[in-house]
Amino acid sequence: MSPELQIIVTFAVFLLLLTCGMAVPFAIAVPAALYLLMQGGLHPDLKIDWHEKMLRGIKERFPQVHLHCYSASEIIAIAEYSGLSIRDTILRLRDAGLDSIPGGGAEVLDDEVRYKIARLKCLTDDWLNVHRAAHQIGMRTTATMMFGVGEKPENLVNHFQRLYELQEETGGFTAFIPWSFQPQHTALGGRGWDEATAVDYLKVLAISRLYLSNFLNVQSSWVTQGLKVCQMGLRFGGNDVGSVMLEENVVRAAGVTNCTTEEELRRIIRDAGFRPAQRDTLYRQYFLN
């Protein structure tokens, strides 16, 4: 369990913060936060020096906040725009304050699916190479899966196998986090796919625990699935329930508005027959309670 507080803030807020030299835009929220998950898209005018300045600005003002930032697609784009290798890009971002990399943008790691739903995102090998490069310099990352986009079972098996192989090679993933596609207000929402059910989610969670035997942690999501399914997920292979959030803008934009508190997360863990434990972004346990 992670009752640590998470905040996702748009690039516009950070640009205002850094260009004006002000901490005001999120000074109210951040002092209570332990980590920040930030992904902002691809902008050809924002090269490596802009991102270094942003990361350093955040760390100078909030040194206690763990920066868990940038999807593989973003890192590839920053490297391309800046004329750098993937490795050198990650090294420079790390030196500027980046602590770890999220698994966002993995969707389904099978190019048959990616060509259909995410043609402009990086391909499977590209995503894996970014995470491999991060692991090789000692940076930890997470792995994700977004299913329910018309994929076939064999596509999901390919996803699991590629993650398993990279984890065997590097051991750099801290956790696997699956969730189902949330179709509302999205460009892909009108394609007529059968929406993934809670049963589908629990099946994927259970299979991931069995298949990804070299991953220590599998997260059951309350953000996309709600608290009850999240609680059931703890009996289907999950050993983590994510974070309490101060602000979340991605899933909310797709029409999902689940919310919770630290106390509620502790309760559902206890009611499922387990003992809650606080951890940080790198899954180092703080204490049992």
| pLDDT above 50 (res 12) | no
The model's confidence at residue 193, banded by pLDDT at 50, 70 and 90, is low
Output DSSP code: residue 63.
T
Q: Taking each helix axis as running N to C, give the angle between helix 124-136 and helix 86-96, from 0 to 180 degrees, rounded to the nearest 10.
A: 50
- CA distance to 15, 60, 108, 153, 234, per residue, from 33 (Å): 20, 15, 31, 38, 25
The enclosing domain of 189 has a CATH number of 3.20.20.70
Burial pattern 247-271, b for ≥16 Cβ within 10 A else e, equals ebeebbeeebebebebeebbebbee
pLDDT at 287: 67
Output DSSP code: residue 240.
B
pLDDT at 182: 65
CA 210 distance to own-chain centroid = 21
Higher pLDDT, 211 or 117: 211
Range of the domain at 113: 5-279
The answer to the question of residue 103 being in a domain is yes
pLDDT at 45: 95
Q: What tokens does 92 get? A: 């420079």
Of 118-122, 165-169, 267-271, which range is least confident?
118-122
The answer to the question of residue 285 being in a domain is no
pLDDT at 259: 72
Give pLDDT tens digits for 28-45: 344 457 888 888 889 999
The model's confidence at residue 183, banded by pLDDT at 50, 70 and 90, is low
Query: Radius of gyration (Cα) for the chain, nearest Å?
Result: 18
Q: Of 171, 181, 157, which is closest to residue 254 (Cα–Cα)?
A: 181
| pLDDT above 80 (res 167) | yes
The answer to the question of residue 198 being in a domain is yes
pLDDT at 242: 85
The partner residues of 35 in beta bridges, in order of sequence, read 6, 66
pLDDT at 223: 82
The share of the chain scoring above pLDDT 70, in percent, equals: 79
**For the chain, how are helix, strand and coil distributed in percent, rounded to 5?**
45, 15, 40
The answer to the question of residue 146 being in a domain is yes
Of 20-24, 77-81, 117-121, 211-215, which range is least confident?
20-24
pTM: 0.84
| pLDDT above 50 (res 98) | yes
The answer to the question of residue 287 being in a domain is no
**Residue type at position 9:** V
| pLDDT above 80 (res 64) | yes
Q: How many domains does the chain have?
A: 1
Q: What tokens does 234 get? A: 């703890």
Of 32-36, 113-117, 195-199, which range is least confident?
32-36
Higher pLDDT, 273 or 257: 273
| pLDDT above 80 (res 8) | no
HEC assignment per residue over 135-159: HHCCCCEEEEEEECCCCCHHHHHHH
The model's confidence at residue 206, banded by pLDDT at 50, 70 and 90, is very high
Q: What tokens does 172 get? A: 């750099």
The answer to the question of residue 284 being in a domain is no
Range 156-167 average pLDDT? 98
